[in-house]
Amino acid sequence: MHKKKSEMVFAFSYILPSLVLIMIFSFIPIAMDVMYSFTKYNVIQKPQFVGFDNFIRMVHDPYVWASLRNTIVFTLFTVPVQTALSLFIAAILAGKCQNQFGNVVRSAMFVPVIASAVLVGTLWSMLLAPTGPVNYILDLIGIGAVNWLGGKTTSLLSVSMATIWKNVGYFLVIFYAGIMDIPRQLYEAAEVDGATKLQKFSYVTVPCLSRITYLVMTLGTIWSFQVFDMVYTMTGGGPGLSTQTLVLTIYNAAFKAYNMGYASTVALLMFVFVIAFQILQKRLFGKEND
């Protein structure tokens, strides 16, 4: 009996430091977020209860609508492209290049992954500058310069391209590991049946990777919902509202306008979105992937 009690005390003392941190940085903040969303609060004065004012304001806020639209468009473009690209490259590497060359390609493509989003944003805003190297090449091959970051139709696409450039190496590594785990016999059996390379890819590789593809797309979507650093450095949300995103709206409301209450309301909206997405995904795809 005594031994059990001392084991409990020991376990609790080992969990305590992490529990305190998780309480302060995760559980309590969610509750505070809900509370603040019903207040007007500028950090200096005490929060004032304002009922549903923030929610009503949010529904009429063009920044919020632009953020939602941009975040969705950004996700719908970024996630499929980066998933498909990383899957294709991984399949080619696994099929053709399980050698030194393949290793070099994978290592090279992982370099952008370790760079910060701020650095990638800074780098790409230079590469995409009106007189930058990308336009220089486009000019050379006769397409002509494009106002990437300054144009309302291309700005979001530019941020998305930089994001894809940064992420492909990450997902490529995951796909590659997944392909390596596919039993060789499946490919041999397909070969016996006379399958072409393309058939092997679509009938063996892709179905065997369904769990990983699901994870890659989920992760990619959640990352896309959270895009901030890249937009902050590349466009600042502009031109106009063309690259305004949810996190940028939260940041500006909280730390430019010092309206913590309203910012919390928008944060709550984002929270609901992210959680709803994850629950929905688990419902739709979870069972077959468990």
Partner 1 sequence: MQRKSSPFLPVILLMALAIIALGAIFPFVYMALISLTQKTMLNFKFDISEFSLINYSRVFKNFNLLVNFRNSAVVTVSACILNCLVSSMAAYAFAKKKFPYRDTLFFAYLATLMIPGQVTLIPVFVIMKSMGLMNTYPALILPIINAFGVFLIRQFMANVPNDLLEAARIDGCGENRIFFTMVIPLIKAVLVSLTIFTFITAWNDFLWPLVIASKPNMKTLTLAIAALKGNYGTNYGLVMAGSTLTFLPPFLLYMFLQKQFIEGIALNGIKG
Residues 15-74 that bind partner 1 (CB under 8 A): 15, 17-19, 21-22, 24-30, 32-33, 36, 43
Which span (71-79, 152-160, 201-209, 267-275) binds partner 1, by CB under 8 A? 267-275
Contacts with partner 1 in 198-227 (CB under 8 A)? 212, 215, 219, 222, 225-226
182 contacts partner 1 (rule: CB under 8 A)? no
129 contacts partner 1 (rule: CB under 8 A)? yes
84 contacts partner 1 (rule: CB under 8 A)? no
Provide CB contacts within 8 A for 242, sequence distance 6+. Answer: 66, 70, 152, 153, 155, 156, 235
Which of 50, 61, 73, 132 binds partner 1 (CB under 8 A)? It is 132
Which of 50, 81, 105, 186 binds partner 1 (CB under 8 A)? It is 105
AA letter at 121: G
Helix, strand or coil, per DSSP, at residue 49 = strand
Provide CB contacts within 8 A for 80, sequence distance 6+. Answer: none
93 contacts partner 1 (rule: CB under 8 A)? yes
Tokens of 47: 């929060």
Among positive and negative, which fits the CA dihedral 146, 151, 154, 155? Answer: positive
- Shortest CB 212 distance to partner 1, Å: 7
285 contacts partner 1 (rule: CB under 8 A)? no
Tokens of 25: 């940085």
Which of 81, 119, 217, 241 binds partner 1 (CB under 8 A)? It is 119
Q: What is the rounded distance in angstroms from the CA atom of residue 25 to the CA atom of residue 106?
A: 36
Instruction: Find where tokens 């039993």 sit.
Output: 183
Contacts with partner 1 in 228-257 (CB under 8 A)? 228-229, 232-233, 246-247, 250-251, 254-255
Which candidate, 144, 116, 148, 115, places its Cα nearest to that of 130?
A: 148
Question: Where in 70-137 does DSSP place strands (E)?
Answer: none
- Shortest CB 42 distance to partner 1, Å: 11
Which lies closer to partner 1 via its Cβ, residue 69 or residue 106? 106
Which of 56, 72, 76, 92 binds partner 1 (CB under 8 A)? It is 92
89 contacts partner 1 (rule: CB under 8 A)? yes
Provide CB contacts within 8 A for 3, sequence distance 6+. Answer: none
Q: Which helix (H) or strand (E) holds 211?
A: helix 210-225
Which of 56, 59, 84, 177 binds partner 1 (CB under 8 A)? It is 177
Which of 68, 73, 81, 173 binds partner 1 (CB under 8 A)? It is 173
- Burial string for 249-270 (b: 16+ CB within 10 Å, else e) reads bbbbbbeeeebbbbbbbbbbbb
Which lies closer to partner 1 via its Cβ, residue 18 or residue 185? 18
